[in-house]
Amino acid sequence: MTREVLVVDDDRPVREALAQTLELAECTVRVTGSFIEAKDHIATGFPGVILSDIRMPGRDGFHLLDHAHGIDPELPVILLTGEGDIPMAVKAMGAGAFDFLEKPCAPDQLVAVIDRALNTRRLVLENRRLKAQLETGDPAARMIFGTSELAEALRHTVRQAARAGTEVLVTGPPGAGVSKVAEVIHLMSPGAGGPFVKRAAAGLGPDTLGTAWAQAAGGTLFLDEVMTLPTESQYALLDRLDPGGEARLVAGSTADLAQAAAEGRFNADLYYRLEVLRVRIPALSERPEDIPVLFRHYVAQAAEQAGLAVPEIGPDHLAALMAQDWPGNARSLMSAAMRFVLGMPDSSAAVAELGLTEQLARVERSLLIAALGRQNGRAAQAAEALKLPRKTFYDKLARYGIRPEDYRR
């Protein structure tokens, strides 16, 4: 969402001064002198925030507040008050105004209130978008969040895997949500009406495996961390993988199965059978642009779970989150969201206290890793995507200790 503000004031010098202050704060500003003109802007869905004088000829700020909330009850309306209007403004707060400012107001005070309103609006719109996703008939859109190219590619691959009806191998780094993606594949598969049976592969003997397979008849058997499946059970599983079998297998792994098969630590025939259709979940470090979307979603979940109001998430906090590596991926981000909701200290706050140079370096490193992830570790293509000369790109990789081969899949 852009920083859109609609300024409504019948005093031209005042509204022009307000607009100048907000434009210097990188807001997109439109100015009007009356309720009638403001209505046209609101009808087109322009403003993220409305800043309106209370006393205006004809219909005043109260009429504007009622009209705006008739269209969108969560649209922030900030009222400007004269010296004698404060009791009136307090009454307006009870009627749903976001805040009020006494004229003349200091620029820093104005910008602070506008920033708070814009952040609130951003969170409202993001929650609406996520709710709309949850109400769609597409489990991939409902359950796999993110707006990056990698997130959309993951949703596309999941849909393809679900339709295929064959065995699927879901891989990803620890904490990336392998079991969640396996569940989405089941929900979108022809056997969605059947059971989804989840079992940890470690210690699963042939007999127990057979029982789980029978329980999943007509649906999906998900074996988590399939590399830990005992050797005898790997052979037993391979024997059950016949076309048109009673259950569909989705196997999950955070380990490198290809390397394990090459070293004889995993049944090579089973690996090749699973590898035919593989869904890879990218690490958060490969798609830092998805971190704000995911964090807002997890914060909303955590607040509901804790029975607390959703706290405001400032842009500095989101920037700090994006500058981290998140080796624990989504699981770590969920924990950070719960700590944030509970008001507990978090390591992400320390990032915000770093100097600008260090923060920029962390963000640059994340973008380099993300580009390599999108290009399957191909450095030349990643450099081109970032519009960097190859020498500059390789110099940056060396500076941050990044190896392209670590991002090949």
Domain residue limits, the chain: 4-132, 139-280, 284-407
Hey, what are 144's tokens?
């796999």
Fold that domain 4-132 belongs to in CATH: Rossmann fold (3.40.50)
Low-confidence ranges of the chain (pLDDT < 70): 1-2, 83-85, 126-127, 129-137, 243-245, 345-360, 409
pLDDT of residue 289: 86
Q: How far apart are the C-alpha atoms of 169 and 182, rounded to whole Å? A: 9
pLDDT of residue 8: 94
Fold that domain 284-407 belongs to in CATH: Helicase, Ruva Protein; domain 3 (1.10.8)
Condensed to tens digits (0 to 9), the pLDDT of residues 118-135 reads 878 877 786 676 566 555
Angle between helices 356-374 and 390-400 (to 10 degrees): 110
Superfamily of domain 139-280: P-loop containing nucleotide triphosphate hydrolases (3.40.50.300)
Sequence-distant (≥ 6) Cβ neighbours of residue 89 within 8 angstroms: 54, 79, 81, 97, 100
Does the fold of domain 139-280 match that of domain 4-132? yes
pLDDT of residue 126: 67
Residues of 374-384 as b/e, b for ≥16 C-beta within 10 angstroms?
A: bbebbbeebbe
pLDDT of residue 347: 56
**pTM score of the predicted model:** 0.60
Q: How far apart are the C-alpha atoms of 403 and 408, rounded to whole Å? A: 10
Q: Are 183 and 222 in contact (CB under 8 A)?
A: yes
Condensed to tens digits (0 to 9), the pLDDT of residues 61-116 reads 888 999 999 999 889 999 988 766 677 777 777 878 898 888 888 999 999 999 88
pLDDT of residue 349: 47
pLDDT of residue 83: 67
